[in-house]
Structure 1
Amino acid sequence: MMTRNVRRFGSVRRQIARLWPSGVRIRYSGTTCYSLATAAVGLLPAGVAFAQHAGPVHSAVRTEVQTTNEWPVTSQRDEVKPDGVGWWEVALRGCYFLLGTAPLMLTAPFAWALSFAFPEVADRWWHWALLVAGSQGPIFVKLLQWAAMRVDLFPAFLCRRLSNLHFNAPQHEWNETAEALAKVFGPDWNTRVLRLEKTPLGSGCIAQVYKGETIGKDPKRVAVKVVHPAVRRRAEVDVELLRYCAALMDQLPMIRDVLNAGECVDEFASTVQPQIDMRAEALNLWKFRANFLGNAKIVFPQPVEALTSETILVEEYEDGQPVLNELDDSHRRKLARLGVQAFLEMVFNHHFVHGDLHPGNVLVSSDGDSLVLLDAGIAFTIEPKQIRDMRDLFQAIARGDGQKAGSLLIERSKSPVEEEKVENFLTSISNIVSDVHASGLRLERLGIADILVDVLSTCYECSVKLDPKFATIVASIFVAEGLGRLLDPNMDILRIAMPVILRASG
């Protein structure tokens, strides 16, 4: 009996370890186990209720499908089958979250009260809060990064605080990389398929990247992206925990009236899940390459079809230097214009947008005349209606018609706007548009991101609920404009943007 119980505990301990964020080591002292068990028992009723109401989580299995000439990648796609997350997994993850964040929750009222007399107290508390958030693992970090862009859903001060979140991405060990490659290509992968440098080029929330070379008659230099071990299961458990929390929040009238938490979690999950499957990123790369086929100035790496799987992405290695390296002013202005034009083409012509164009994902080609755009895991399609909405809004702003811009936002709100807030909303939008024209729409005076933040903040204050995809487009504009601002603060964005916007179809 004792032996059986010890084995059972060892099995449970290994399961618990799978749920903890990478880089966090757990010590199973008697006190720790007792605390976890007590917390789990406390969450048991809620976990059972959640398990009864939550739908199953789906995982991907590989199946063969017919490819087309237009999409030369992938001979695989997702076929979903139920693989439910156990309530006990969610409860244990919830325990870890509560243990990590309880001190923050307990001290928040005191920090808020003291901040009126001692503003530095709030700064220190937020610094601590962001450190704690970073310790909760990649999914929670991505959630807060997503929330930082949603000024239409959350107060502007909160979004500003969350925008300072920095995450020290975990690095997994080389033997874990070798194991992942062996699982896909077989144990002799390093003599038959790939040669890799053991030191990674970089690491992110989801995966880390190595430089290597294919083995065969025509060897190619490649970049190999390897998903962190167990990240998919952690993501499934974390998303289920978020759904459970959202279900509780939606029962509270004071929250339900201003925020549909369930919709927020579903939207967030839809942005995270494709990032965990490397085949989705490969498809994104092929689509971007097709869209920019006639533009030699914008380069996307080409995936190696035969070597791409759910956990491994192999793409041709692109030479280049970081876009923020020392360049002369004329060169920086040229690259800034090129990047902004490419982004506008994505939004208004291709209707397929790279959602993460920060400087770390942009290289200057070795000849200095082209931009190499990397990391296409975050990408989204824009529907014709959303193009029309965005085009009409930008046209109204460009013409200085604030009343028209405000009316468009009200007409396309997801729910009716209270009558007493309509006039205030229209006046606020008109004031924003007037300020825009007073600045001449120049980035050094007032950025496009600043304009849209003001618009979304006004929507939040007046309960004008926008299409989530609109906010997603705005978030990508934040990132792209940040790149433009770094390269050329004096760029006249209106002169570049208006021809593209006016030609937009939808």
Structure 2
Amino acid sequence: MLKPAPQGDTFEQGLFISSQRELEDEHARYREVRLSSRWRWIYKVRFFLVDYVWDPLHTIGRFVELSVIFLPVLLTIPVGWFGTRGEKLWFKILKISLENAGASFVKLGQWAASRTDIFPRALCEELGSLHSNSKAHSLSYTKSALSQSFGLPFDEIFQEFNETPVGVGAIAQVYTATLSKKVLENVEFHAVKNKRSWFNTVFNDAPLPNQKVAIKVMHPNVEQEIHRDLKVMNFFASAIDIIPTMEWLSLPDEVKNFGILMNLQLDLRIEALNLQRFQENYKDDFFVNFPTPYLTYCNRDILVEEYINGLQMSTILELKQNNKLNNELSHKLSDKVIDSFLHMLILGNFIHSDLHPGNIFVRFVKPNEMNNDILSTDVQRDQISTKLKKADDLETLSSELNQLTEMGFYPEVCYIDAGLVTELNEKNRVNFIALFNALAEFDGYKAGELMIERSKTPETAIDPEIFALKTERLVDKIKQRTFTLGTVSIGDLLDRMLSMVRVHHVRMEGDFVSVVVAILLLEGIGRQLDPDMDLFARWVWFTLLNGIPEH
């Protein structure tokens, strides 16, 4: 299994370096073997054609294709000059073009939607609804890929396999299945600490018999397509960077960082190891969970993990919006979501980078009176989830949840799709905590100074003194609201600060912004569940209770 390279500043960066080195070594070995064979002259010609003819031609072809796709965007630029309505129309045209341009550009749009420090808010909001138009790849390809991965005929791998994907993304698609006894019998078991017990117990490196699993299969040729797209993006970024007023954005650097994010998702072992680390970080929390990755079956193109059978958070939020969610359950869920995030941010420094409601599920378990063990079994938990998902309407679902609450069941929050995480290196972590503490103390001027001093390029900032004064004024307004309403939205504060960052050309670290975006998403979910939720207060309470690790 993949191991992080020691040269990485963070666990994730170490995995990226190792994954890329392994890919380069495999490529080099493949060519070395063939160039040492008796047919080496044929391979020399073939590799020359691939490197200097076919690949460049494919890249040029892709460039032409993208030029046609984005031509309407260029032709309608003047539309954006005619007020807010024209601007919104142009942003919509851009979104449609990104959706039609394929996996890389859908991901690019989703990344851009999170960068309110670079792009206008209206554009980020439009791109926030960007969806992949990716078509599911063929079942025959899936069967071939799985047979090759498991080293068995497809019919011998599974006891049951749902041939319809439960999800199709830009890079991969997901199926549900049950592994066969033949596959399970060949797995070694490893003893690790199981958080459902006070004792060391056997925790399987494979699912139990008859246990449903989720299987993610990479789309064919997606790696080559993404690498070509990154070349095209880099060309345009370099062209834009020549414009005098645009150099502060450092778009070539941003494309490079985006390329790293894409490559992280092209090795599914990284997602498996992320899940494993999240499980380790939360091993003492009975009410937060992540799917168990079955590392024995995972490789670069295949991920096999525990299937999470639960209610999607979006369904819970719909209940709340219709006043059909009891207050006790609302508060428990809000507290658990926020506390689990603060654990990611403060204690773990390992933050899920895609915390929208579709990636959060809720299951129900029955704890003992001390809340230090779970009395209900996994079978009971899954039976409850299945029954809740079969509810005919919100009224019936609300009634079922009320009964569970009365019976002493507690919500368990489960996070899925951990392909991308955010880690702050030592420098950025110190900077972030210093900024957050300045905001918690309502010292706006100091917060503004810190943001400029510790930005990527302090020299590109426009009017740093005015920026610090604006930050002070903004924090003072928030402070006054705190004393009158009793709560303050840290998300609202950080969101406004990112808008000011864009105006004053303050270049923030990408990981730093990712943390801010995660705060915005989680606080939004927490406040929908509990409008009185105060992230500032939870931050203070959490740090007093747990402290802030030095590393």
Whether TM exceeds 0.5 here: the answer is yes
Give 1:392's aligned residue. Answer: 434
Q: Distance in 2 between matches of 1:228 and 1:127?
A: 28
Please report how far the alpha carbon of residue 252 of structure 1 lies from its aligned counterpart in structure 2 after TM superposition.
2.6
| Percentage identity across paired residues of the two chains | 31
Kindly provide the CA deviation profile for residues 103-144 of structure 1, in whole angstroms up to 9, marking residues without a partner as x: 2211221x124x33xx54443343333122111112111111
Give 1:86's aligned residue. Answer: 55
Give 2:176's aligned residue. Answer: 211
Q: Distance in 2 between matches of 1:123 and 1:344?
A: 35
Amino acid at match of 1:147: A
Unaligned runs of 5+ in 2: 6-10, 28-50, 186-207, 320-324, 366-409
Unaligned runs of 5+ in 1: 1-61
Determine if contact 1:442/1:491 at 8 Å carries over to the other structure. Answer: no
1:340 is aligned to 2:338: yes
Q: 1:245 to 1:123 in 2, by over 3 A?
A: closer
Q: Distance in 1 between matches of 2:258 and 2:288?
A: 29
Instruction: Give 1:200's match in structure 2, choosing from 141, 165, 178.
Output: 165
Instruction: Give 1:259's match in structure 2, choosing from 249, 255, 261.
Output: 249
Q: 1:371 to 1:441 in 2, by over 3 A?
A: farther
Q: Distance in 2 between matches of 1:460 and 1:65?
A: 34
Instruction: Give 1:248's match in structure 2, choosing from 232, 239, 249.
Output: 239
Alignment of 1:364-375 (within 5 A): 364-367=362-365, 368-375=410-417
1:112 is aligned to 2:156: no
Instruction: Give 1:96's match in structure 2, choosing from 56, 65, 79.
Output: 65
Give 1:48's aligned residue. Answer: none
Kindly provide the CA deviation profile for residues 179-225 of structure 1, in whole angstroms up to 9, marking residues without a partner as x: 22123224513313563111222222221111111111552321111
1:404 is aligned to 2:446: yes
Q: Distance in 2 between matches of 1:104 and 1:400?
A: 43
Determine if contact 2:102/2:133 at 8 Å carries over to the other structure. Answer: no
Give 1:231's aligned residue. Answer: 222
Secondary structure at the counterpart of residue 446 of structure 2:
helix
Give 1:142's aligned residue. Answer: 107
Give 2:548's aligned residue. Answer: 504
Please report how far the alpha carbon of residue 364 of structure 1 lies from its aligned counterpart in structure 2 after TM superposition.
0.7
Q: 1:81 to 1:287 in 2, by over 3 A?
A: same
Instruction: Give 1:311's match in structure 2, choosing from 301, 306, 312.
Output: 301
Q: Distance in 1 between matches of 2:538 and 2:232?
A: 44
Q: Distance in 2 between matches of 1:107 and 1:301?
A: 45
Give 1:24's aligned residue. Answer: none
The aligned length equals: 433
Kindly provide the CA deviation profile for residues 40-94 of structure 1, in whole angstroms up to 9, marking residues without a partner as x: xxxxxxxxxxxxxxxxxxxxxx98999xxx9xx9xx9551318669222221111
Secondary structure at the counterpart of residue 60 of structure 2:
helix
Amino acid at match of 1:81: E
Please report how far the alpha carbon of residue 371 of structure 1 lies from its aligned counterpart in structure 2 after TM superposition.
0.7
Please report how far the alpha carbon of residue 472 of structure 1 lies from its aligned counterpart in structure 2 after TM superposition.
1.9
Q: Distance in 2 between matches of 1:312 and 1:125?
A: 39
Q: 1:462 to 1:276 in 2, by over 3 A?
A: same
Q: Distance in 1 between matches of 2:3 and 2:514?
A: 32
Q: 1:398 to 1:298 in 2, by over 3 A?
A: same
TM-score, length-scaled by structure 2: 0.73
Q: Distance in 1 between matches of 2:358 and 2:56?
A: 38
1:288 is aligned to 2:283: no
Secondary structure at the counterpart of residue 86 of structure 1:
helix
1:421 is aligned to 2:444: no
Q: Distance in 2 between matches of 1:444 and 1:102?
A: 51
Determine if contact 2:249/2:507 at 8 Å carries over to the other structure. Answer: no
TM-score, length-scaled by structure 1: 0.79
Amino acid at match of 1:234: E
Q: Distance in 2 between matches of 1:273 and 1:416?
A: 29
Q: 1:142 to 1:447 in 2, by over 3 A?
A: farther
Give 2:127's aligned residue. Answer: 162
Q: 1:123 to 1:246 in 2, by over 3 A?
A: closer
Secondary structure at the counterpart of residue 264 of structure 1:
helix
Q: 1:200 to 1:331 in 2, by over 3 A?
A: same
Q: Distance in 1 between matches of 2:254 and 2:4?
A: 33
Secondary structure at the counterpart of residue 249 of structure 2:
coil
Root mean square deviation of aligned Cα: 2.8
Please report how far the alpha carbon of residue 169 of structure 1 lies from its aligned counterpart in structure 2 after TM superposition.
4.2
Q: 1:281 to 1:331 in 2, by over 3 A?
A: same
Deviates more, 1:415-424 or 1:386-395: 415-424
Deviates more, 1:315-324 or 1:163-172: 163-172
Determine if contact 1:400/1:434 at 8 Å carries over to the other structure. Answer: yes
1:457 is aligned to 2:499: yes
Determine if contact 2:444/2:475 at 8 Å carries over to the other structure. Answer: yes
Kindly provide the CA deviation profile for residues 216-240 of structure 1, in whole angstroms up to 9, marking residues without a partner as x: 1552321111112221111111112
Q: Distance in 2 between matches of 1:413 and 1:130?
A: 30
Please report how far the alpha carbon of residue 344 of structure 1 lies from its aligned counterpart in structure 2 after TM superposition.
1.0
